[in-house]
Amino acid sequence: RDFNERCAQCSEVNWGLTDGGRFYCKSCHNVTERTREVVNTDFISNARVQTISKGLRKEEKTDGDCEWYVCEGFQLVLKKQAEALEALGVCPQMKDKILCNFWRCYLQKSKQAYCNRPAGETVKALSVCDSSTDVDSEPERPGLLHLLSLSESEGDLQTDCSFASSTSKVSASTSVCSGSVDGRFYLMKNQKENLRMTMPMTLSFCYMALLWLREPMTLSDLLRFVVEGHIPYLNVFQHFPEKMKLCGLDLKIFCVESWPAYEEVYNKMLELAAFLDLPRFPDITDSCFLHPDILCMKYLMEANLPDELHNWTCRVVKKICIGEADFLTLVPGNKSTRKVKYDVLAAAVIVVVLKLLFLLDDHYEWLLSDFAEERNKNNKEGGPYFEFKKWYKVIKCSLDVEQKKLDEERAKYLWRCEKPLFYSAKKKSKVLKRRQMVVNLQNQFGKLCGSVRPAEKRNPSSFQLSWSEEDTNGSCFHGHSLKGILQEKCGLLTAMNPDYWLCTVKLCTEKLCGHLAHYREVDFPQSYHFVLRLFSFLLRIQPSYIHDEVCMIEHKLFNKRLCKKPKYNRGLRK
């Protein structure tokens, strides 16, 4: 606005500002060498309003690109993810109401939008603090793409990249350190007060929304769908519109080279919930999918275990009060309660029940199985008795096959996508050439192996293993009876197994070392390890996580005894 010279080409006075801080004529797109030296807050803030209020239809720059902010990028990502979840059957409310609102709340709290004060420090002499534009408190527009209000000026469009030097090899003279306007700032900002957005965090957002709605999808399900490609995550930037160019530091933000870990996503979700000052989440009651009673049922089915075990899991859940809404429901910010991982908890309950009934000391379960086999011979009425040995053989076989498949899939994973990425324009041609070569080589060798493309995407399914009662080879154990390993006592059926061994006598302090216990395969019986391995495969997490939960449950279960007898030993009677 202050620049009042006439344009050399078209003699108009209609100036805009490029990324590089140079003036350009909006009429004829002639770029001058003049750079903005004078600070003018009005100019800057108005420009910002102008750019943002138009959503993505920004002012055309000479090469057809537009200015975009990192948070807009993430917004697009979330939108895509929400759409995918909807396609998987999640209720549409999630996208339009819940996730949207969470996101807005986040933007506001992290002062990237919907507020009237700048966030973060500015870098250079540009004093760009108060922009006098108003806070826009308009209600939601349809769709997520239109951010209405302004964000603070991250202002400094100068090309000094010294603060970003640790993260990129971009030289100071290039005007494109990132395709986004604030890419640099994103990576270097002091993020103690703010929760900086990352790609894994998009999944935390999704999960948080799912949890709020109590949708029947656990975190492990969600992450599995991500890996299987049903939910955009890897290379989601290829869905950005053409005009949003990604390069330089944007790559660090949006390109992931690893699958998000369960712990990471989960912990971030907790942080996020606290950051957003969310109230207590809707109660998880015993009719919710996430309730241990229901999840246990699902996992029992998937693990091909008898339905009758469900009674036992319910008993354990009841006994240690982990079925209560107060225990299960998330209260953000409350540091005193241990946060619940529903899927891991349910799996651990099943493991404990198996230990209760079968002991799993590499000895007793086999004896018991032989015993059941004997009883089965005389068993004419009703269903067969459950034999651990048979179950073990069937499951081990399937598990090995599936695990092998999974390992091969992992080895065959393709990380690159069609849309090439490059740090800077200079590298573009090199990258494109390289991509061409890769495609050629892939084709060449692909011809040699017959099939060219990787395996078909698996159909999204909640169940990874399924067993049918119609299988004539008797490999489905759902209907088997536990009578073979139970005995009658005072009119009640109780386990024949009188013993139990604790995974650990003393729990670690979680805050210090992050775990309740430390799992090493060699320290524990093979059967126990096998059972952990099974659920580890189903949930796609390390066995040690399940082991931690098992320890926690056991300590709750045997709490009284542990308190009474500090010198605990094996051979505890229930």
| Residue ranges that bind another protein, judged by CB under 8 A | 169, 251, 255, 257-259, 261-262, 403-404, 407-408, 410-416, 421-423, 427, 430-431, 434-435, 437-438, 440-442, 444-452, 454, 533, 536-537, 540-542
Q: Are 362 and 526 in contact (CB under 8 A)?
A: yes
Burial class (CB in 10 A: 0-12, 13-18, 19+), 226: buried
Least Å from the CB of residue 406 to another protein: 9
418 or 470: whose CB is closer to another protein?
A: 418
Is 231 or 502 the residue whose CB approaches another protein more closely?
Answer: 231
Which lies closer to another protein via its Cβ, residue 87 or residue 417?
417
Strand 15-17 and strand 31-35: pairing?
unpaired
- Minimum distance of another protein from residue 457's CB (angstroms): 15
CB 112 within 8 A of CB 196: no
How far is 291 from 349, CA to CA, in rounded Å? 12
Please give the Cα distance from 66 to 76 (Å, whole number).
15
Please identify, using beta-carbon distances, which residue of 227 and 290 lies nearer to another protein: 227
Q: Are 80 and 234 in contact (CB under 8 A)?
A: no
Question: 228 — phi, psi (to 5°)?
Answer: -80, -5
361 DSSP assignment: S
Say how far apart CA 73 and CA 236 lie, in whole Å: 10
> Rg of the Cα trace of the chain?
29
What is the per-residue burial (b if ≥16 Cβ within 10 Å, else e) of 262-291? bebbbebbbebbebbebeebeebeeebebb
Nearer to another protein, 264 or 293 (CB): 264
**For another protein, the closer CB: 62 or 436:** 436
Output the smallest distance, CB 451 to another protein, in A: 8
Q: Partners of 489 in the beta sheet?
A: 492
Instruction: Report CA torsion sign: 170, 175, 181, 182.
Output: positive
Angstrom distance (rounded) from CA 182 to CA 154: 7
- Other Cβ atoms less than 10 A from the Cβ of 520: the count is 9
Nearer to another protein, 50 or 436 (CB): 436
Amino acid at residue number 39: V
Select 145 or 417, whichever has its Cβ closest to another protein. Answer: 417
